[in-house]
Structure formats: C-alpha cells, structure tokens
Structure 1
Amino acid sequence: MVLEEGYLSGAINGFHNTSTVFKFNGGGTWIQAEYNYLYQYLYAPYAKVIEKNGMAFIEIEGIDASAPVRKA
C-alpha cells in the first residue's frame, strides 16, 4: 500500500541514519527509522513511501534500495 508519493523537496544525499529527513513537496515529512548508509546525490527525486508487513519504507527513484521510515 502506498502511504505517500510525490517529489521530495530539494537535494538529498541518499540514506544515512535516524536523523535523515525526507520532505515531500506536498507537505509530508518522514524520518529514516534505522541506520542504513547509502550515498547517492539526487535533486528533488520522485519517491514513494510504501507499507510492507506493517512497516513503512521509502523508495526513491534513482536509488536501487529502500529504507525504513516513520512519519515525523
């Protein structure tokens, strides 16, 4: 199930730690829920937050991995 989707605001540097914030242009904000380091610079990429097995994960266009997130 898709919880939120759209373009992220500004530049992102991939996945890092539990202080990594993902802000959607539509106003939604999600915080990375656990350490998962993967550097990839992208500017305003398209992203989706999906629910799998009761957990939320962010999938970002241009990154071949996902990271667990929680609503801010």
Structure 2
Amino acid sequence: MSEYQIVKTIKIDGDFDGFDDEVLFKLMDGSYWIQNEYKYWYHYAYCPTVHILKSGNRHYIQVQGRNEIVSIRQISDITESQINGEFNGWEGETQYQLMNGEVWKQSTYNYDYTYAYMPVAIIYHAGSGYKMKVEGTIAEVQRIK
C-alpha cells in the first residue's frame, strides 16, 4: 500500500455489499462516491470503516482490514428525497413522484419487485445517465417533471 496515500478514514453510511459496477457509496460525512471501474467482490458489512486512498490523481476505496481496492470518484449531482407513497419496485416504465415534487420515470427495462412505503430515493448521475436507488434496488431513470 506504499503507492497509496490515505486521504481519510471514515465509515460508510449504512449497508455495504461490496463492489460491482457503478456502486454508490455514501460516507458518514455526507459525501458520495461512485465506483469508477468494474470489479466484483461481495462482502457484507454494516457501516464498515473504509480508507479513501489517493494515487496520482485517482481515488480508491478500501474496506479496513481487507486487501481489495477499487477506483472511485466523488460525485455531487445527487438528489435525496422520498417516494410519495408506495414503492413497488421496477416494471419497465415505472414513474415515481418524490416528496420534493420531482417526477422520475424508469428509462430502461428492469423488473425488480420490492415493496416499501415512502422509502428514501437517491438519484445520481452515473456517467451513463441518471440512476435511482431505492431500497437496495437501482434503475436507470429520466426526469419528466
């Protein structure tokens, strides 16, 4: 780890399920980071301590006590709100109104049934478009209002 400089050591805010593709990480300081390269590694932990590392002009994340490191980038184009009513997952062209008045529509097909009442919705720009994360499920979305 000598080529990496530790920028900060902090906890992830909530569940951590490991790395996959464009995984979003919210840290306890309120900052958001997104996985910048594909790497799959499953490891569940609740609020694990992580190191934010830097090498050159790139940032990386490492769960404390583990060897796996993945490239990340900080993002600031985030909307946090709640679904206004029931959330029944994704069905293809699902639309959801948020408590902040915005309306978002699923833009690519993905079927995933998950029920929750007024869950938190996090919308972020992942580079390839906007994604909405609700109750551990994610779908590509576009804003319609």
**Are 1:12 and 2:6 an aligned pair?**
no
2:27 counterpart residue number: 24
TM-score by length of 1: 0.87
2:40 to 28, 37, 41: 37
The percentage of counterpart residues that share the same residue type is 27
SS at match of 1:40: strand
Paired AA for residue 26 in structure 2: K
**Contact conserved, 1:40 with 1:63, CA < 8 A, in 2?**
no
Q: Which runs of 5+ in 1 are unaligned?
A: none
Output one character per residue of 1:6-57: Cα deviation in whole Å (capped at 9) or x when no partner.
Answer: 1111111111112x01111111110000110000001100012111122100
RMSD (Å) for aligned C-alpha atoms = 1.3
Q: List alignment gaps of at least 5 residues for structure 2.
A: 76-145
Asked if residue 47 in structure 1 is aligned to residue 50 in structure 2, the reply is: yes
| Poorly superposed stretches of 4+, deviation over 3 Å | 1-4
Larger Rg: 2
Distance 2:43 2:65 in 1: 8
Cα distance in 1 between the residues matched to 2:6 and 2:32: 15
TM-score (norm: length of structure 2):
0.46
Which structure dedicates a bigger proportion of its chain to strand? 2
